[in-house]
A and B are shown apart, each in its own frame.
Chain A
Amino acid sequence: MASEMAQPGFWARVQRASVERLHIRLESLVVLLALSAAMAVLSPFFLSLSNFLNILLATSTIGVLAIAATFVIGSGGLDLSLGSVMGLAGVAGAFVAVNLGWPSVFAVIACILAGGLAGYINGQLVTRAFVPAFIVTLGMLGLARGLALVISQGRAIYGLPAAIVYIGQGRPFGIPMPVILLVLTAIVAHCVLAYTRFGRHTLALGDSEGAARAAGIRVEHHRRIIYTLSGALAGLAGLLFTARVNAGDPTAGINYELTAITAAIIGGTNLFGGRASILGTMIGALIMGVLQNGLTLLAVQSYYQQMAIGAVLILAVFIDQYQVRKESRV
């Protein structure tokens, strides 16, 4: 008992406080600052307001996907279809706006609805057909991408109305619209995850499905909502991307699930569920954004960037699992 009650070091106490109070792992913040400092030293272009906004803008799509990944992984699930569903949603929105010529608001709804529907199907298959989430969402990755190509006949849909383009390119007060929408989404998501019963049940479910069930939480119902939410967020990401590039591109979002899941894991989401925070995920998304931006400024080929993301994902899970083994008797 005496050894257990021994005073932990200052660093350990700050670590614990940040996890308990702010729901973030301090290490991720340190990594973000160190990475930024390194990039600032290596590239003269890194430290500028326009580049800072660039990073945020590039992070906005990934950030929204990473929020989706945080909810799903936090609940003990997995959504590999994020990138494809994002592509499908963008094409669906562009199709409604351009090919059908409907008002912009319907295009926005189409994006969210297409994403939400794909997520809803994921949830139904996971909870009613008992196909593992890994397989269901891997299948959806192919299905959604294929459908996006079918709808768009394999070509990007151009000529979006100005209102849609404003969502992607508008700059009220000099701040890019996608960044504003990401921040708003993140704030709402943070409050939902950290302060509502829904959020708490999500993490409890990821922690121990048996405990959640015994406590009377409707586990399957909850999972269906999570997957639907994940799809809808991927739809929002699709809207942001489509509006920013001013085209419904059926190949948009390829491999984005890799980056989004990596951002969530770096941010402290436990790969096996039970622990997650939106604040942490946002730090994770920024780390990915700074990494990609910095490597681009340093003129590193995008092929190597792809490798870097993959390596970071494995490294992040390794560090996380190392910490978990060290801290807990689970």
Chain B
Amino acid sequence: MTLLSLHGIRKSFGAVDVLHGVDLSVAAGEVVGLVGDNGAGKSTLMKTITGIYRADFGSIEFDGKDILALDPGQRRELGIEMIYQDLSLAKQQDVAANIFLGREPTKKLFGLFPGIVDKAEMDRQAAKMIERLGAHLPSINRSVGSFSGGQQQTVAIARALTFNPKLVIMDEPTAALAVREVQSVLDLIRRLKSEGIAVILISHRLNDVLSVTDRIVVLRHGRADADLVTAKTNMNEVVSRIVGGGDISAAAAHEQRG
């Protein structure tokens, strides 16, 4: 069943055309790798899905609904979450504040004043989520900025998973991580898939992409240039699709060494 489908998405910033009509579809529970050179438009495309950018042309359907006119908050409500490359955390706020940002549970104070944020409930759920991810943080009440990169990543992941998403977009989730942490992110992606959650993985680490995805979409010059089934492709083909001709064998050999 198709969860997300994009048709003819175009986006330009002033005179610079970034996306020239991208088609992309993702099924429920499917893991799709999105690869491409720097400047191919990967992040821009993802931000048109989350609603941070509004597409100039084209259509976006999610779960059978046209979501083109919805703002980022409404799209999150429908179940689209994204883990940004820069993590997009509010670094002076604590763990629970970040996880629940924009969706704080509220209660009535003395049964009278509505809209009081239920901090105790937030802390409880945040701690539970962090534990479920098998992560350890020094303290849940500390500002996120005092954590290490991996710990901050945990918070960003917890935020994306707390509200039962249907689609999780990950932008370079492993770029800044140590080897062991990379494995746990890949394990997490497999776990999400087994729970029926679709994942779009943007990564330059093609080994990661090849090991965890069902399909690989290559974005090149603002178009979806190739749509490969992971089981039927290999490093060489992916690399050649990314660089599009030129000295393919040298690039592929380099990737394999890396």
Residue numbers of A with Cβ under 8 A of B are: 4-5, 20, 191, 195-197, 200-201, 203-204, 207-208, 210-218, 270, 274-275, 327-330
Contacts and interface: CB of A to CB of B under 8 A. Distances in A.
Interface string B118-153: 010000000000000000001001010111100000
10 contacts: A195-B117, A204-B90, A210-B86, A213-B52, A214-B84, A215-B73, A217-B101, A274-B92, A329-B147, A330-B92
Nearest to A330: B145
B89 A211 contact: yes
Nearest to B152: A329
A131 to B, nearest CB: 20
B115 A216 contact: no
Contacts of B97: 200, 204
B91 A214 contact: no
Contacts of A216: 71-77, 102-103
Nearest to A217: B102
Contacts of A214: 50, 52, 72, 82, 84, 88
| Shortest Cβ-Cβ A-B pairs, 8 listed | A216-B73, A215-B102, A207-B90, A274-B92, A215-B101, A211-B88, A330-B145, A328-B145
B106 interface: yes
Contacts of B86: 210
B91 A328 contact: yes
B115 A208 contact: no
Interface string B65-83: 0000001111111000010
A275 B92 contact: yes
A215 B145 contact: no
A196 B117 contact: yes
Interface of B: 50, 52, 71-77, 82, 84, 86, 88-94, 97-98, 101-104, 106, 109, 115-117, 119, 138, 141, 143, 145-148, 159
A327 B82 CA distance: 29
B12 to A, nearest CB: 19
B52 A204 contact: no
Contacts, number: 98
Q: Is the interface of A mostly helix, strand, loop or mixed?
A: helix
Given A208-B89, A214-B72, A328-B143, 12 more contacts: A196-B115, A196-B117, A197-B115, A200-B104, A208-B88, A214-B84, A216-B71, A216-B103, A270-B92, A274-B93, A328-B91, A328-B92
B96 to A, nearest CB: 10
Contacts of A5: 138
Of the candidates A203, A208, A210, A270, the one having the most CB atoms from chain B within 10 angstroms of its own CB is: A208
A210 to B, nearest CB: 5
A102 to B, nearest CB: 33
A330 B104 CA distance: 24
B84 to A, nearest CB: 6
Nearest to B90: A207
B93 A203 contact: yes
Contacts of B93: 200, 203-204, 207, 274
Nearest to A216: B73
A300 B138 CA distance: 50
B117 A215 contact: no
A302 to B, nearest CB: 37
Nearest to B98: A211
B102 to A, nearest CB: 4
Contacts of B109: 195
Given A212-B101, A215-B101, A327-B146, A20 B141 contact: yes
Contacts of B82: 214
A218 B73 contact: yes
B91 A208 contact: yes
With most chain A CB atoms within 10 A of its CB, the pick from B71, B92, B93 is: B92
Contacts of B159: 215
A321 to B, nearest CB: 13
Contacts of A207: 90-93
A207 B144 CA distance: 11
A171 B191 CA distance: 67
B154 to A, nearest CB: 15
A217 B52 CA distance: 11
Nearest to A219: B72
A203 B88 contact: no
Nearest to B74: A216
Contacts of A204: 90, 93, 97, 101
A215 B71 CA distance: 10
Nearest to A274: B92
Contacts of B91: 207-208, 274, 328, 330
A233 to B, nearest CB: 20
A23 B88 CA distance: 23
A329 B71 CA distance: 32
A215 B82 CA distance: 10
A195 B97 CA distance: 12
Nearest to B47: A214
A211 B116 contact: no
Contact of B116 (A4, A195, A270, A275): A195
Contacts of B143: 328
